[in-house]
Structure 1
Amino acid sequence: MSDQVEQREFQAEARQLLQLMVHSIYSNKDSFLRELVSNASDALDKLRLAAYQDKDLDVDTSDLHIDLDLDSTARTLTVRDNGIGMSRDEVVDLIGTLAKSGTAEMRRKLQESNESTEELIGQFGVGFYSTFMVADKVDLLTRKAGENTATRWESSGDGTYTIATVDDAPQGTSVTLHLKPEDADDELHDYTAPWKIRQLVKKYSDFISWPIRMEVEKTVPASTEEGAENTEPTVTVETETINSRTALWAKPKSEVSDEEYKEFYRHIAHAWDEPLDVIAMKAEGTFEYQALLFIPSQAPFDLFNRDGHTGVQLYVKRVFIMGDCDELMPEYLRFIKGVVDAQDLSLNVSREILQQDRQIKVIRRSLTKKVLSAIKDLQANRPDDYATFWTQFGRAFKEGLLSDPDNRETVLGLSSFASTFSPDTPTTLADYVSRMRDGQEQIFYATGESRRLLESSPHLEAFKAKGYEVLLLTDPVDEVWVESVPEFQGKALQSVAKGEVDLGSGDDTADADRTEFADLLTWLQKTLDDHVKEVRLSTRLTSSPACLITDTFGITPQLARMYRASGQEVPVGKRILEINPEHALVTGLRDALASSQDGLSDTAELLYGTALLAEGGSLDDPARFAAILADRLAKTF
């Protein structure tokens, strides 16, 4: 029996509003089930709280749960809970929220992101309307705990809805979706298929604390014993709980086994390796959230793919909101896997996009510091695991030297680099500083494409001869971050291929050399004017005749190539040619110049070309260089 049946009209903009909900806000129509289950879970939470606060409330809280009923013949899906329920006025108010807002008002609220904006995601009417993505008609039946009458609401989303008072209905709320006709070409969205519902519950609602139940058919095989009565398979219907209800992040770390953590890591990371470290944290106070993060032991194949996936999943009150939540973890830590479960976040109405507000920034900063602290522990106490971490993720981790200025000093201290003193094991900057020679005020480094090329570079000759350690930086990101990090522990970083270096020779021959080679320096400067800005004597060469040096604040050729590869043209100035006054080629050129300049310009070009090739550079005119070299070789016979 029912009475007080009313038919009401939405505002004139209602159809536009539903179109906005269905086609603009939700990017995936599977989201409707997440919304309904989330609403049901909230209703159960509210009932438990109400029963705790009001001991006289006549409710049964012994078996709070969510039921999912599927009817493939009638093409209906029902989501039912025995939670707090709603009164008639609450149905009108909550479900009418959208109807009375109007499209323009909804758009205005969607665009607002400041903290004073009313949070739409918590309102029943918003997520509820996502059902019209998949249903032609929606029926709602609800009875509020402690009341005797229920309310039925029905609509086809066509501008009107009916609402009626019903005398007989169970406590709680049920929402029945009359699904749209099945698309023969779209089996993936058959919401009457048990496998599909299992899949969606597993993805979105697996960790909700309330049991989500569904009736499933079980086939009992026929008996194979002779004379048995049951000679045909028997189909029975059983009720199963289809969510795990186990949120490991909500448990104390002492109550979770290593194997449970490993299994959970493999589940969320879709990986088969074992985590190097497990990071569990809980924040209480202004922003409450829990996090369970993992440092993997193996890099994913798409670590350096622009379209690659980050590893942190976002939940709100155990309801899955999104995977690959890059707002919660800086890009240089994109390899971190795990879950963040917040009690309240500023989300848009689809639960799919985070607003950039203070809550997110606070959580991001806290997670970042926690991860860096865990890596520091690996470095200090578990060197083998740290070595694995650095081998797998070091190249990505160093991006933080550019993108995270707040933690740059920490990231720099946690980084390791190849060195001329450690052929097999990378060294930290702290270890480098501890080995610095008396009076050494700079941390020397060289950048290039490979260790092999750097170790044979002319730029390193004097450093190796005099026992100075040089860092060998071969990752592309190294070319960039060294320009942004001026020092470490008060020691300036100095490229062996930039500016002038003082290796403390301790002799008085420089002035004499400069006078003795003055004419050669002047002549070379004039002859190679198209290629170099200056020619000077070198203190960094011992066995090579010459090398090319970049100004202290100039752009290196390697960095310029990187910019060009990314489509950016950068001006590259002329470089400095340093010549070795002890090399036979240089002294021979000096002596030949004293008698005649005939034919020596080709030798100058060979000197410049060999310096360019020695550092891995490219000749402007390889054919001319080859012709000059062949001519010189021919004259030796």
Structure 2
Amino acid sequence: MGRKTTHKFKAEISQLLDILVHSLYTNKEIFLRELVSNASDALEKYRFQSSTADNGADDSLPLEIRIETDEEAGTVTVTDTGVGMTREEVMANIGTIAHSGTAQIAKLAQEGKESLDTLIGRFGVGFYSVYMVADEVTVKTRSMQPDSPVIVWTSDGRTDYKLQELDEDLPRGTSITVQLKDDLKGQFTNTAHIKQVLTKHSNFVNFPIMVGDERVNTVPALWREPKFQIKPEQYAEFYKFLTFDSEDPFDTMHISVDAPVQFNALMFIPPKSTDFLTGMNRDNWGLDLYVRRVLIQHQNKDLLPEYLSFVRGVVDTEDLPLNISRETLQDNVLMRKISSTLTKQVLSHLEKMAADNADRYAEFWKEHGSIFKAGYMDFIHKDRYAKLVRFNSSEQEDADGLTSLADYVSRAREGQKEIYYAYGASREALALNPHLEMFRRKGIEVLYLYEPIDEFAMDTIREFEEFKLVAAEHADPAALDAFESKADEPDVPELNEEQSSTLDKLMARIKEVLGDSVSEVKVSARLSDSPVCLSNPDGHVTSSMDKIMRAVSKDTSIPVKVLEINPDHALVRNMIDIYAKNNDDPFVEQAARQLYESALLLEGYLTDPHALVGRIQSLLTQSSGWYVKAED
């Protein structure tokens, strides 16, 4: 038995250990992650040093990590066959602390502002996390250096530690035995729980982790393997392991980056959307972040923007410290570089998919397009975003058809310099939109928007290949009229001078009837099939965007708009004749209110339809009576 000495901890170590021993609110299982990570580092060092120097290393020992529990003794032991430590290395690595600032740890921990595992990561004191669960810790180690003695380090984590040299002939490596606190013995001597913790945090460590005779980390870290060696079924198996999905991934992205920061990533596009940005599932997204195969953060939300949250997978880097707090992650320059590179890689992958196989991209879009459209706020990648968004269009046969802005431009009429769009709840609703009548007549394509977010996307894109994006209701009728009509124009005789004069008086009467409900009543240049429509007096905000803004501000009032009249519609012509014969005819007022409320109904502003329904029934009763008399 060798000499045994006692050494006092430095003041900051004692203060740190006191915090750890009395910690009640932290995630105690991370001590196992830290010990396994240290063991993995020791094995990596051994592998490197044994390959670069002839130092008589024992190659018969398997490079592995073993974890044993003793329920009766209340201990858990982590053993590695790594590089081991000399007496001086033990004192340097365990007896002192690499960074000052323990007083700051104490302050933050006592204030309860951060969890202790976060603080441990920030200050690089991972080994000491063992004192969250330990009454005493024994480290038995032997360096790979020839003739090194066995060193035993023991401490209860209070004021001092003991060092002893043993004459035993033990193999190289390190064994850490944790004497568990009484209330934690059942938890951390339970091998099922130990395996669960290891699978969560250390599943992809590069060396076998054995619990008893069973290897826990059986799934290989595919992202570290050369792409040309991996078969599709291996990717599918890993995706299912990662996501618990029963189906194969829709697509796979395996990338290795050396600059500006070194990392590997294995990412998947799932076959089905789970719409992570809404409802109960809102926070269930993000890539798993690893540092040298050790899980640092599950579902990190800084590696990809939210509009790419449908992407699942892992990112592993050598360049981050193994213990890094979440707060430091968010502020880390390397993280921002990784995020920027990942975002570009995913967008490039989608661009290639769209260019190579439009049908496959359409399949992707129908599953994940609603999430991707939220990327309208990514101003850095605005042009790439504009190329990737898809919409239904008046050119498609049904609501399942998709077109890109580039496709729209390729079909534009000669001389057309605007991309037109309109919002509606469905194709059927848009078919009744009076603002689109002139577009149908002229054969000009209109993009159909079915979700409110689509309009925000259009407002952000604004221009595409020198084409301005313009809401159909804001289109200049004079500019549209310059295009040759593709459909037959209605054969309606022009109003004579007397009819034109009567129309002016009729519109004045309608304005009088409707009062402040409308700002103006005027002749429309855009209508062909409908008798009237409503338009915004300022010409800037679309009706659908106005409704969104009103919903946000909880404004339930009906906006004051311009009522546009189609002088060629049969109903308006009849009203002209009726008004010419009797300007007090009650039908004029009745029809004015009916047309206005019908227009409100189409725009989605009519909240009380009772008057409209009653008026319709009255008109039907009268007209059916006239019809019966005419038949007689």
Give me the TM-score of the superposition, normalised by structure 2.
Answer: 0.85
**1:266 & 1:176 partners in 2: Cα distance?**
36
Change (3 A) 1:299 1:430: same
2:357 counterpart letter in structure 1:
R
Task: Map 1:306-455 to 2 at 5 A.
Answer: 307-345=282-320, 349=324, 354-401=329-376, 403-424=377-398, 425-455=401-431
1:281 counterpart letter in structure 2:
I
2:162 paired with 1:162: yes
Task: Map 1:221-370 to 2 at 5 A.
Answer: 239-244=213-218, 246-300=220-274, 302=276, 304-305=278-279, 307-345=282-320, 349=324, 354-370=329-345
**1:533 & 1:613 partners in 2: Cα distance?**
18
Matched-pair contact (CA < 8 Å) for 1:80–1:173: yes
**2:553 & 2:339 partners in 1: Cα distance?**
32
**1:553 & 1:347 partners in 2: Cα distance?**
57
In the TM superposition, residue 390 of structure 1 has moved relative to its aligned partner by: 0.9
2:481 paired with 1:504: yes
Residue identity over aligned pairs, in percent, reads 37
1:129 paired residue number: 128
- Residue deviations 1:479-536, cap 9 Å, x none? 3222222121111111122354431257998999987744444444454342223333
RMSD of the TM alignment (CA)? 3.4
**1:350 & 1:95 partners in 2: Cα distance?**
21
Please, which moves more after superposition, 296-305 or 172-181?
Answer: 296-305
Change (3 A) 1:83 1:297: same
Matched-pair contact (CA < 8 Å) for 2:276–2:285: no
Change (3 A) 1:286 1:386: closer
The count of corresponding residues between Structure 1 and Structure 2 is 599
In the TM superposition, residue 345 of structure 1 has moved relative to its aligned partner by: 2.0
In the TM superposition, residue 270 of structure 1 has moved relative to its aligned partner by: 1.4
Match of 2:381, SS state, is: helix
**1:519 & 1:506 partners in 2: Cα distance?**
32
1:194 paired residue number: 191
Please, which moves more after superposition, 147-156 or 331-340?
Answer: 147-156
Q: 1:213 aligns with which of 207, 210, 216?
A: 210
Matched-pair contact (CA < 8 Å) for 1:303–1:335: no
2:629 paired residue number: none
2:43 paired with 1:44: yes
**1:136 & 1:286 partners in 2: Cα distance?**
45
In the TM superposition, residue 625 of structure 1 has moved relative to its aligned partner by: 3.3
Match of 1:339, SS state, is: strand
1:208 counterpart letter in structure 2:
V
Change (3 A) 1:100 1:159: farther
In the TM superposition, residue 89 of structure 1 has moved relative to its aligned partner by: 3.7
Match of 1:78, SS state, is: strand
Change (3 A) 1:285 1:367: closer
Match of 2:240, SS state, is: helix
In the TM superposition, residue 349 of structure 1 has moved relative to its aligned partner by: 4.4
Match of 1:145, SS state, is: coil
- Residue deviations 1:186-229, cap 9 Å, x none? x7xx22222222222222222221121232xxxxxxxxxxxxxx
Runs (5+) with no aligned partner, structure 1: 112-118, 216-238
Change (3 A) 1:22 1:542: farther
**1:592 & 1:16 partners in 2: Cα distance?**
93
2:610 paired with 1:623: yes
Match of 1:416, SS state, is: coil
Match of 2:94, SS state, is: helix
In the TM superposition, residue 133 of structure 1 has moved relative to its aligned partner by: 2.7
Change (3 A) 1:159 1:497: farther
Q: 1:477 aligns with which of 453, 459, 463?
A: 453
**2:273 & 2:329 partners in 1: Cα distance?**
27
2:433 paired residue number: 457
In the TM superposition, residue 334 of structure 1 has moved relative to its aligned partner by: 0.5
Matched-pair contact (CA < 8 Å) for 2:502–2:579: no
2:583 paired residue number: 596
1:66 paired residue number: 65
Change (3 A) 1:207 1:620: closer
2:114 paired residue number: none
Matched-pair contact (CA < 8 Å) for 1:444–1:471: yes
Match of 2:69, SS state, is: strand
Match of 2:331, SS state, is: coil
Matched-pair contact (CA < 8 Å) for 1:541–1:580: yes
Runs (5+) with no aligned partner, structure 2: 112-118, 485-492, 626-632
Give me the TM-score of the superposition, normalised by structure 1.
Answer: 0.84
Match of 1:207, SS state, is: coil
Change (3 A) 1:77 1:346: closer
Matched-pair contact (CA < 8 Å) for 2:98–2:125: no
2:418 counterpart letter in structure 1:
Q
**2:503 & 2:482 partners in 1: Cα distance?**
19
Please, which moves more after superposition, 126-135 or 15-24?
Answer: 15-24
2:68 counterpart letter in structure 1:
D
In the TM superposition, residue 67 of structure 1 has moved relative to its aligned partner by: 1.2
**1:437 & 1:356 partners in 2: Cα distance?**
50
- Residue deviations 1:364-401, cap 9 Å, x none? 11111111121122212223321210110111111112
Matched-pair contact (CA < 8 Å) for 1:298–1:392: yes
Matched-pair contact (CA < 8 Å) for 1:346–1:355: no
Change (3 A) 1:352 1:405: closer
In the TM superposition, residue 109 of structure 1 has moved relative to its aligned partner by: 10
2:533 paired residue number: 547
In the TM superposition, residue 102 of structure 1 has moved relative to its aligned partner by: 5.4
Please, which moves more after superposition, 266-275 or 508-517?
Answer: 508-517
Structure whose residues are more often helix by fraction: 2
Matched-pair contact (CA < 8 Å) for 1:127–1:349: no
